[in-house]
Structure 1
Amino acid sequence: MITRAGGARRARRPGLAAALAAACLLPVGGCAPGAPAQEPLRLMVPVPAGGGYDYTARTVAVTLRDTGLAGEVEVFNLPGSSGTVALTRLLHETGNDRMLLQMGLGLVGSVLSQGVPHGIDEATPVARLIAEPEAVVVPADSPYASFGDLVRAWKANEGDGSGGLVAGIGSRVGGPDHLALMLIAEAVGLAPAEVGFDRYDGGGQMLAPLLGHRVDFALTGVGEYRHAIAAGQLRVLAVTGPRPVSGVDAPTLRRAGYPLEVVNWRGLLAPPGLTERQRAEVTRLLDRLRATPQWQRALRENGWTDAYLTGDRFSAFLAAENRRVGRVIDRLGLTGEADGAG
């Protein structure tokens, strides 16, 4: 779907392939002999399979399995309305400490851009897990060998009647890929309202169009395409974090000459109405998860930064993010533009 931010939109709906991975049951160890059976811990993903939220949730589940920290973990996808279908489901699970919602910056953006009646602040904040920079990527055979090459071509094509270069994003409007694209366009001197982009339901659906040159470049989380980057299928032109990413041969935007940092993050919410004891037990489980060598290895392998934050500090962070992202959305005129899930 090629979109002009703030303007008319020509719809190109993504296929239904992601629906094939709509649910996944991951057995995690077993209960000790004689221990009472416990309901599975359910991790709800608000987007189709294949994206950053999905991969993060499944990494949590696999780590819980491999370390024996939980009895059974079920990961299931509930996409719809830019992630707010899953948020609504969570808010109707009052007091259920066996369900968590995988969320992050993207869900904050979609709630604010859509103006939905139920907010993240109605849920129980559990933990911020990781932070991840965005990456500007092109196919290995792209004519753009550097971020500077891309910017020159992007600006040269602006307003020439052809629509300019087309970016790919794997998040909803108001999500991390989209916000990064708009902020980068602004930083290089382009009008965000004139930026063309195709939106896909996660990085999994975006890879083929990117490799097939149906988009000129893409914004994505570093970890989502780590295998394609390592295999030489994709080239990273820049990363949006404060420092270079280990194993990725690309400068930061600041090093490339643009004083901009955009960092995505992901965390977990629980339903409302948890007791202090329930909340403490869920937090204790994640404390133990974070301390495992397996989780630390997952951070390194995926280019994720340990951004662990719990309790009142995570609540304060969420409130600050709502204010910060709200200001960006208002300034870029993105309110009411949310579309799909990603």
Structure 2
Amino acid sequence: MSSSVVDLVVHGPPGSAPPVMADAFLAGLAECGADERSFRLVPRGDDPGVHAMELLIERPGDGAVISTCTPVFLQAPLLRGMSLTHRRLTPLARLVTDHFFLVARADAPWPDAGAFVADLPRRTTRTGGYFLGGINHLLGLAIADGTGADVEFVVTASEPAVWTALIEGRIDWGCGVAAEILPHVEAGTLRVIAVLSAERQQPFPEIPTLAEAGVPVTFHLWRGLMGPPALTGAQQAHWHEVARAVTQTKAWKGYLDRNGQRDGFLPGSGFSDFLDSEWAWYRRHLGQAGLLPTANG
């Protein structure tokens, strides 16, 4: 290995899910010892996904830098017509699949998913996310369509700012993963109303799916690792093995259990093929929403 220190780039801001995953990855690495180099976290969450990709593209062939990644690595290039996409980098491994939950303030007028679905068409409500075309936006559009409701989408400064806006009453409901909403649910400021999955999920197994209330909106989010361009086969194989070892640790499995996530390990070319299929899905749905600036290939 060419460097004794590895940069683990974190592509989301404090209070979002990527730093939680990065901490869990380092805890798992400390447990399994699959890479004996020192690791340091490099925050690049001011422009989620984009700043991380820009750092990676500047370090071709560097085996001492990797980044957390989620669908924003696809959404941002599509929405902005960027030439920098995942195809110019090195997809290393998908690690987990995640689930979204529909949440409201603890004092919201909806005791359950049925009440939410029944009430939503009666008045305009507000939901939010940190950019148009993000998952929060697409889910908001799908829930509005499924309920026949008028839903206003409020753009916030960041993903964590969604929950601040909800707590302060500037939006009425939101969609988020457990890693983002758990601190607020445990603090008693937010309440989970439904899960956006085909079946009930941890860490809220008692919460019904939105489909049980008659609105079958579902979405699964992936999380993984991205490398810089031009990594050698040996460098890629090293990261595949490191990621595999981390996902077998107690620390990593504890992270999955706490946040209601599932193992989704898929290394190398399998991950690359998966990302290409995801690119096509986002291109289609963002296009249908009228959000693409130009045709993207």
- TM-score for both structures, normalised by structure 1: 0.79
- Aligned pairs for 1:244-323 (under 5 A) are 244-248=200-204, 249-323=206-280
CA distance in 1, matches of 2:73, 2:3: 30
1:172 alignment partner in structure 2? 131
Deviation digits for residues 28-49 of structure 1, max 9, x if unmatched? Answer: xxxxxxxx99422211122322
* Structure 2 counterparts to residues 205-220 of structure 1, below 5 A: 205-220=161-176
- Answer yes or no: is 1:126 the counterpart of 2:92: yes
Contact 1:82 1:172 in 2 (8 A): no
Q: Equivalent residues in 2 for 1:98-113 (5 A)?
A: 98-113=64-79
- Correspondence list, 1:64-75, <5 A: 64-70=29-35, 71-75=37-41
What one-letter code is carried by the residue in structure 2 that aligns with 1:87?
A: M
Kindly state the Cα deviation for residue 57 of structure 1 after the two structures are TM-superposed: 1.6
Alignment of 1:3-152 (within 5 A): 38-70=3-35, 71-152=37-118
RMSD: 2.2
Show CA shifts across 1:290-328 (max 9, x none).
111221111111111111111211111000000011100
Cα displacement (A) at 1:201? 0.9
- 1:137 and 1:268 mapped to 2: Cα distance? 28
**Structure 1 contact 134–180 (Cα < 8 Å) conserved:** no
SS at match of 1:111: helix
Map residues 331-342 of structure 1 onto 2, 5 A cutoff. 331-336=288-293
Query: How do residues 169-248 of structure 1 correspond to structure 2 at under 5 angstroms?
Result: 169=129, 171-190=130-149, 195-203=152-160, 205-248=161-204
C-alpha spacing 1:39/1:183, structure 2 compared with 1 (3 Å)? farther
Aligned partners of 1:110 and 1:173 also within 8 Å: no
Deviations 1:70-116 (A, max 9, x none): 33211121234452232122112100111112111122112211111
Displacement of 1:65 in angstroms is: 2.7
Distance 2:179 2:141 in 1: 21
Among all aligned residue pairs of Structure 1 and Structure 2, give the percentage whose two residues are the same amino acid: 26
Which residue of structure 2 aligns with residue 4 of structure 1? Answer: none
Which whole-Å CA distance do the structure 2 matches of 1:132 and 1:126 have between them?
Answer: 18
Residue deviations 1:41-69, cap 9 Å, x none? 21112232221122212221232234433
Q: Residue 33 of structure 1 corresponds to which residue in structure 2?
A: none
Write the distance in 1 (CA, Å) between the matches of 2:48 and 2:189.
Answer: 29
Deviation per residue, 1:216-272 (Å, 9 max, x gap)? 111111221223323433211111122211241311122221222111111111011
For 1:22, the equivalent position in structure 2 comes to none
Paired residues in the alignment total: 292
SS of residue in 2 equivalent to 1:219: strand
Distance 1:82 1:224, change over 3 A: closer
- The answer to whether the 8 Å contact 2:73/2:85 transfers is no
For 2:112 and 2:196, locate their aligned partners in 1 and report how far apart those are by CA, in whole Å.
14
Residues 259-290 of structure 1, C-alpha deviations (whole Å, 9 max, x = no match) = 22111111111011011001001111111101
Contact 1:107 1:175 in 2 (8 A): no
Q: Which runs of 5+ in 2 are unaligned?
A: none
Secondary structure of the residue aligned to 1:172 is coil
TM-score (norm 2): 0.90
Amino acid across the alignment from 1:63 = G
C-alpha separation between the residues in 1 aligned to 2:138 and 2:22?
A: 22
Contact 1:239 1:252 in 2 (8 A): yes
Q: C-alpha separation between the residues in 1 aligned to 2:254 and 2:260?
A: 10
